[in-house]
Amino acid sequence: MTGRRYDWTDPREWLNRARSSLRHAKAADESVYLEDLCYDAQQAGEKAIKGVLLHKRIPFPYVHDLDRLLQLVPNTGEALPEAVSQAGDLTRYAAVRYPRVFSQVTEQEYQQALSVAEEVVLWAERIILGKGP
C-alpha cells in the first residue's frame, strides 16, 4: 500500500492497516482459500474497531474477539450501527489461518464476511477521519 504511514499509536495507522487487510480480503482468485480471505476480513474489522477505540482513547485488549471489542464501543459515545454490530461474526475466522479441521468457507460466507468488514471500515473512517454522515 502506498500512502502516508503513521506511528502505531495514531488511529490513522490502524485505519491504514484495516484498509490494507480489506484490500487483501478482496483479492479473491482460484489460488487463494476463501478461509484466508475471511481471515483478512476479520483482521480488517479488528483493526478498524481498535482504531476507533484508540481514537476515542478507550483502552482495549489485544484480542481477536470482535464481540469483546464491540462491547467497548458504547464507552466512545459513538453509535454502533446494526451492520457494524455484526462484526462479532467475523471472530470465527481469526483461527482459520491455520490448517486444521475446519469447515470450508462457502462463497456466500465469504461475501458476507467481506460485506461486514467493509461496513466496519467505512464506520471507522467516518469516526477517525470525520468522513461522511
pLDDT tens for 39-87 read 999 999 999 999 999 999 999 999 999 999 999 999 999 999 999 999 9
Question: pTM of the prediction?
Answer: 0.92
The CA distance from 132 to 38, in Å, is 26
DSSP string, 39-72: HHHHHHHHHHHHHHHHHTT------S-HHHHHTT
- Look at residue 96 in the predicted model and tell me its pLDDT: 76
Q: Cα-Cα-Cα-Cα dihedral of 131, 108, 63, 48, to 10°?
A: -10
CATH of range 11-129; options 3.40.50.720, 1.20.120.330, 3.90.700.10, 2.60.120.10: 1.20.120.330
Domain range summary for the chain, segments of one domain joined by +: 11-129
